[in-house]
Amino acid sequence: MTDNILEVRDLVKHYPIKSGMFGRVVGRVRAVDGVSFSIPRGSTMGLVGESGCGKTTVGKTILRLTDKTSGSVTFDGKEIFNLSKSEMRSLRPRIQIIFQDPYSSLSPRLPVSEIIGEAVKEHHIVPDAELDDYITQVMRACGLQPYHKDRYPHEFSGGQRQRICIARALALKPDFIVCDEPVSALDVSIQAQIINLLSDLQKQFGMAYLFISHDLSVVEHISDAVGVMYLGTMVEYASKRELFKKPLHPYTRALFSAIPMPDPTVRMDRILLKGSIPSPANPPSGCKFHTRCPNCMEICKTVDPEPRDFGGHTVACHLYDHGTP
């Protein structure tokens, strides 16, 4: 229990759909519908899925940026939704987030030293006299030069901006960082720089990451454990090696086979999924994947499969109702 920095149990987040003059609730968007996982200290968990599957909502709810509907999020032994405002505030520096778009997540009016230093000052991470040196040190660790301090975000390229975002998160000495698609907006060669930086920093400072991405190859590279989400539920959860060697859920398999390989001699047997992801406001009955599943059975249309654990490899699919795969 204690060696997990974060534990998420049956997390549910529904957004109400309001309509009419009095804001009557006419429906609910089931953004996250029962997700459980835990992240050990200093390790990385990857979260993959298509857009609209609720992976960003999971990240936001963990940070208590939005309220949960039900379930629990335990950070370092404390249930974060039971904390008072001041307790939450003292916890904030320990959980940080890096956003997807480095163009819109930095204030255009603040110089870099302010962007990085603002929260450091606020939370008294270092004495005021050492603040400047501390910022220099953090910027060095993230591959930025000290003379960048007085510049504004528009003077930087996308890769450098993402470094600023990382420096901002790192400056608070966090134990846990949510990386919400940190490299999706970057070029391939810059992507590699940022991924290397993230793993170097993890070795140096021992933070845990929740790495949210739709790019399976990036997730495979950086993660220790991987969860696959579909329409608000986690359909498969296993260690990286296990998952990539032996994907069990039909959705995971389809996702793997859909990745184009950078090798013209390889021709993969592609599992083409039909249609697109259904609306989370009106999810299908039974297994949520049954409308697109190539192995759909009768039972899938009515009964929602329970997650089953096969020695650390959890999968929610009726194919494995009778014994091990």
| Residues at the site binding another protein, with contacts judged by CB under 8 A | 50-51, 147, 150, 157, 159, 187-193, 195-196, 199, 214, 216-218, 220-221, 244, 254-265, 270, 272-273, 276-277
Q: How far is the CB of 192 from another protein (least distance, A)?
A: 4
The total number of residues shown for the chain amounts to 325
Q: In what order do the strands lie in the sheet with 4-19?
A: 24-40, 4-19, 70-75, 78-79
Q: How far is the CB of 118 from another protein (least distance, A)?
A: 21
End-to-end CA distance of the chain: 29
State which residue, 187 or 309, has the beta carbon closest to another protein.
Answer: 187
Q: How far is the CB of 272 from another protein (least distance, A)?
A: 6
- Report the alpha-carbon distance of residue 252 to residue 219 in Å, rounded: 13
State which residue, 6 or 238, has the beta carbon closest to another protein.
Answer: 238
State which residue, 66 or 184, has the beta carbon closest to another protein.
Answer: 184
State which residue, 158 or 307, has the beta carbon closest to another protein.
Answer: 158
Asked if residues 164 and 106 have their Cβ atoms less than 8 Å apart, the reply is: yes
Q: How far is the CB of 35 from another protein (least distance, A)?
A: 19
State the amino acid at position 152 in one-letter form: Y
- Report the alpha-carbon distance of residue 140 to residue 130 in Å, rounded: 15
State which residue, 94 or 221, has the beta carbon closest to another protein.
Answer: 221
Torsion of CA 218, 221, 222, 227, to 10 degrees: 70
State which residue, 168 or 292, has the beta carbon closest to another protein.
Answer: 292
- Report the alpha-carbon distance of residue 117 to residue 124 in Å, rounded: 10
Q: How far is the CB of 1 from another protein (least distance, A)?
A: 31
Q: How far is the CB of 194 from another protein (least distance, A)?
A: 9
Q: How far is the CB of 15 from another protein (least distance, A)?
A: 19
CA angle 229, 235, 237 (to 5 degrees): 90
State which residue, 19 or 276, has the beta carbon closest to another protein.
Answer: 276
DSSP-derived secondary structure for 219-279: HHHH-SEEEEEETTEEEEEEEHHHHHHS--SHHHHHHHHHSPPS-TT------PPPS-PPP
Asked if residues 46 and 223 have their Cβ atoms less than 8 Å apart, the reply is: yes
